Amino acid sequence: MIGKFITAEGTDGSGKSTQLEKLKTYLHSLKIKTLFVREPGGTDISEKIRSLLLDISNSDMAYETEALLYAASRAQLMKEKIIPALESGTFVICDRFVDSSYVYQGYARGLDLKMVEEINKYATFGIMPDITLFFDIAPEKSIERVKKCKVFDRIEKEKLDFHKKVYNGYIELSKKYPRIKRIDASQGIDETFEQVKKYVDIIIGENNE
């Protein structure tokens, strides 16, 4: 792989999307060829899977089905977009990736973490991010941000308790994997972006070596 692979993670309402928009503008200003994608989604097939996953009428979806659908959406995205981009030396920024499955399906839903890791090894073709930015904000705060949005999707309807499990899952993962970098997302937009920029500049530097 030649290109660098950066993923972004956090609880719903962590401000991740705003930061990624800023990152997009930043990389554009540096004329770095970048592919931006989001999960679940990013290809026609993956977007169809996304609709199934976030449809509030699918409330009886088995957790195992959910885990496999996220993985299926990911496999398609890898094969169709991420792998070809990395091979051609393009930077890839992905809004959520495997860590979301570890945390939401593993830690929060309670599925066997080993199993979630196994299906995702298959779905990612064994390719992992160079760096993962974890937007860390207390779940009580992030849920307040989410509440301000009018339309809730199926996952966002989950209770605070679920969000706390998601948050604790991210904390556990960030202790386990050095590639996960904690960003203090409780700060203002610009202060938060300064932290993002610091890590991304390191990756850009490595790419130029």
- Residue 132: phi and psi, rounded to 5, are -125, 125
- Between 95 and 130, name the residue whose CB sits nearer to ligand TYD: 95
Q: Which residue is nearest to ligand TYD (CB)?
A: 104
Instruction: Single out the residue of 135, 103, 104, 149 nearest to residue 15, CA to CA.
Output: 135
Minimum separation from the CB atom of position 134 to ligand TYD (A): 13
Selected from 4, 81, 96, 181, the binder of ligand TYD by CB under 6 A is: 96
Q: Does 101 bind ligand TYD (CB under 6 A)?
A: yes
- Between 11 and 34, name the residue whose CB sits nearer to ligand TYD: 11
Amino acid at position 150, single letter: K
Minimum separation from the CB atom of position 30 to ligand TYD (A): 25
What are the distances in angstroms from CA 180 to CA 1, 18, 105, 149?
A: 20, 19, 18, 28
d(CA 203, CA 53): 33
- Between 27 and 119, name the residue whose CB sits nearer to ligand TYD: 119
- Between 95 and 136, name the residue whose CB sits nearer to ligand TYD: 95
Interface mask (CB under 6 A) for ligand TYD, residues 149-168, using x and -? Answer: ----x-x-------------
Instruction: Single out the residue of 174, 153, 195, 161 nearest to residue 16, CA to CA.
Output: 195
